[in-house]
Structure 1
Amino acid sequence: MDLGYARVSTTHQDLERQLVALDEHGIPDERIYADKKTGATIDRPEFKKMLTYARDGDTIVATDLDRLGRNLRECLNVIHNLSERGIGVKTLRDPLPIDTTDTSGMAELSVAMLALFAHMERVFMRERAAHAREVAAAQGKQPGRPRKLSPAQLAAARAALREDQPVGQVAEAFGVSRATLYRYLAQNTEQI
């Protein structure tokens, strides 16, 4: 029996493309497991549920090998552990298609190469992010996302709160959520 697995790294990303591909492969919705969590860890709720459910003779189908995890060691360990349980892994859209139910040497080589490429991409992504942070710091910019509230806006929000304006009203006035306002207020509580 085929079990589908889909994953995106953040809650802001969309699973639709992967879910459509798994559906087109003929996997019914009740046998598709999907997580919105980074692939750097195998501590993903739906992934764990799928691994618990999978039985000897089943095949786990994903669009790409990096959906199972981007870390080379973890990816290969997952495939190895599944193989020892008699569970195959198949990918639908990798440049080198993976099908561990194929016992040829090329199938094993494809798994190793794609896992290596996924790992390399993760390393390069971290290096690019570190470089971007260094460049921003060298230019006197704060790395990361732009701040939602400037220091002047934060001071005005604090003043409004001291005047007993409701938090929701203050947050709305500055175009941020209550949670964002609370987070900014907590950063320098001595100034409240």
Structure 2
Amino acid sequence: MDFGYIRVSSTDQNEDRQLVALRGKGIPDNRLYIDKQSGKNFDRPKYKRMVRRLRQGDLLYVLSIDRLGRNYKEIQEQWRLLTQEKGVDIYVLDMPLLDTRQGKDLMGTFIADLVLQILSFVAQNERENIRKRQAEGIAAAMARGVKFGRPPYPLPENFHEVHKAWRDKKMTLRQAAEACGMPVGTFYAKAVKFENTN
């Protein structure tokens, strides 16, 4: 039987491109498995369910090699588990050289293993480069004065007089926070910041 596996790295990424490619191979929806997981959380329930269902002689389609793992080691481990332990064939759509149905002789196996090692190394290297470029982009933006995160809420109109009353010990911290409609911690943090900038 033919199966397809799709992974997108977060819930806001779209899996349509992978779905179109795998459906184009005639794989029915009940044998398509989709995981939406972040790169940090690699607990893939649909993948695990699919692996339990796979039998010797089945064929697994993936669009690209990095769908099998986050890094070089994981890709290699999953490839070995699927092809050697489970006896499943794998076809990587964007790299037709990685089709374990072809060249089952020693030379074919050697070439497929070599290509797999190179591609899984390239996949991990590209992810590391993306992370590095993101960090560099964030640092450059911060150097230009770009602010990240939620914009600060403006201080309530009565903040200055309440702050003064609190500083003059005419109000407790809790009373001052309530008068400004803020949690105690927020009022205190705003008060400290206000004092440091004035």
TM-score by length of 2: 0.70
Deviation at 1:38, TM superposition (A): 3.2
Match of 2:187 in 1: 191
Spell out the pairing of 1:7-86 with structure 2 (5 A cutoff).
7-39=7-39, 42-83=42-83, 84-86=85-87
Match of 2:88 in 1: 87
Instruction: Tell me if the contact between 1:39 and 1:71 (Cα under 8 Å) persists in the aligned partners.
Output: no
Whole-angstrom distance in 1 between the partners of 2:56 and 2:42 = 21
Greater Cα shift, 74-83 or 98-107: 98-107
Q: Select the structure of larger CA radius of gyration.
A: 2
Structure 1 counterpart SS, 2:26: coil
Match of 2:128 in 1: 123
Structure 2 counterpart SS, 1:11: coil
Structure 1 portions without partners, runs of 5+? 166-184
Query: 1:162-183: CA deviations, max 9, x gaps?
Result: 68x9xxxxxxxxxxxxxxxxxx
Structure 2 letter corresponding to 1:68: L
How many residues are paired up?
Answer: 163
Spell out the pairing of 1:90-101 with structure 2 (5 A cutoff).
90-94=91-95, 97-101=97-101
Q: Pick one of 98, 119, 144 that aligns with 1:114.
A: 119
Greater Cα shift, 96-105 or 73-82: 96-105
- Percent of aligned pairs with the same amino acid: 35
Q: How much is the aligned-residue C-alpha RMSD, in angstroms?
A: 2.9
Structure 1 letter corresponding to 2:31: R
Structure 2 letter corresponding to 1:47: Y
Spell out the pairing of 1:168-187 with structure 2 (5 A cutoff).
none
TM-score by length of 1: 0.72
